[in-house]
């Protein structure tokens, strides 16, 4: 992983690139971060970065079907999204070739990273 420090906009906050392991900790602690294809600039003119706010993914209304057990006439029990689910969906649609990159990169605000 290359160490990158990027600014969001002209006078915006500074973001630092982190590993997937750190992104998992951030997701578990409900800290927002940005996800982007590894070869793209997350804060470019086209806005390739995806803001991940973990608090939006822990409710019962945003769930994935889980086919391990059948219950209530549904194919499976509904379970909340995990970071692996979000990353798998993001990489399937956005990280598909050499131009964009084959995996996701994660960025967190520098002041939040310093407080962890």
* Mean predicted confidence (pLDDT) in 1-9: 76
The chain-wide mean pLDDT, for the chain, equals 81
β-pairing, 14-18 with 104-109?
antiparallel
Question: Which pLDDT score, from 0 to 100, does residue 49 have?
Answer: 86
- Whether pLDDT at 72 is above 80: no
Domain count of the fold of the chain: 1
Question: Which pLDDT score, from 0 to 100, does residue 65 have?
Answer: 56
Distance, in Å, from the CA atom of 29 to the CA atom of 99, rounded to the nearest integer, reads: 32
| CB atoms inside a 10 Å sphere around CB 11 | 6
Q: For 18, what's the count of Cα atoms within 13 Å in the CB-facing half-sphere?
A: 24
**CA 55, 36, 43, 63 torsion-angle sign:** negative
pTM for this prediction: 0.80
Q: Which domain holds residue 98?
A: 5-115
Smallest CA-to-CA distance from 18 within 92, 93, 83, 98 is with 83
């Amino acid at each position: 992983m290359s160490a990158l420090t990027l600014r969001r906009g002209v006078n915006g906050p500074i973001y630092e690139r982190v590993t997937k392991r750190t992104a998992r900790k951030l997701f578990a602690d409900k800290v927002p971060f940005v996800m982007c294809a590894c070869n793209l600039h997350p804060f470019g003119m086209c806005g390739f970065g995806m803001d991940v706010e973990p608090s939006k993914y822990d409710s019962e209304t945003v769930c994935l079907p889980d086919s391990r057990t059948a219950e209530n006439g549904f194919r499976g029990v509904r379970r909340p999204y995990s970071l692996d689910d979000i990353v798998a969906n993001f990489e399937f649609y956005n990280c598909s070739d050499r131009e964009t990159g084959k995996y996701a990169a994660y960025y967190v605000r520098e002041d939040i990273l310093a407080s962890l």
